[in-house]
Amino acid sequence: MKPNHMDIDEILKRYLPRATQEDVDAASERVLKRIRALRYADASEESQVEPKAQWLPKFEMAVLVAVDELQGSGTPVPITLKVAELLEERIVSGGAVFLILLLLESSGLVTSSPDPEEPDAADKRLFKITGSGRETLAAARAAEGRRAGLLTDFA
C-alpha cells in the first residue's frame, strides 16, 4: 500500500473548511458581548447610581484623565499624546488608546461626537468625559490615594 501524502493545505481545506464571513462576524459579536458582560456587569445600573468602580487600571485611568484635561477638544491623536505624557512613556499605542476610548464610551464614561466636516472619520471624533466619568475618575483617584497611603505604612 502506498501512503497518501496530501499537502497540509489540502487537508485543511478538506477537513476544516473556512468559516463564512457571516459566521466570523456573528462569533466576534458573541465574544465581544461576553467580554462586555464580564467587564461591565450592570453598567446601566451603575450609571444611574453612584459609581461602584473605585479602581481603574492605570492605562484606562490615564485615558480618562487625558479626555478630561482636553475638555472636549480631544481627538484620538491628542489624547494618545496626552496619555503618553501622563504615563511618562515615549511611545503609547494609538490603537490601544482608541479601543479604551470605545470601551469607556460604551460604559458611559465618555461620549464622542463626529467632526461635522468628516462625520465618518473615526480619527476626527471628539471625545468628552461625562458626569458619570468624572464621578468614576474621582472615586478611582480617591481609591488610589488610599492605596498609596496604606503602602507608606510598609515602607
Instruction: Return the pLDDT at 15.
Output: 73
- Domain presence at residue 121: yes
In a domain, 139, yes or no: yes
pLDDT tens, position by position, 75-97: 888 999 999 999 888 888 888 88
Could you tell me the residue range of the domain that residue 59 belongs to? 51-152
CATH number at 107 reads: 1.10.10.10
Residue 22 lies in a domain: no
Write out pLDDT tens, residues 11-57.
777 777 777 788 778 888 888 887 777 766 554 444 444 444 456 78
User: Quick check: is 15 in a domain?
Assistant: no
Contacts of 108 (CB under 8 A, 6+ apart): 43, 47, 130, 132, 133
Q: Is the pLDDT of residue 2 over 60?
A: no
Give domain status of residue 73, yes or no: yes
28 domain residue, yes or no: no
Phi, psi at 49, each rounded to 5°: -110, 175
Number of structural domains found in the chain:
1
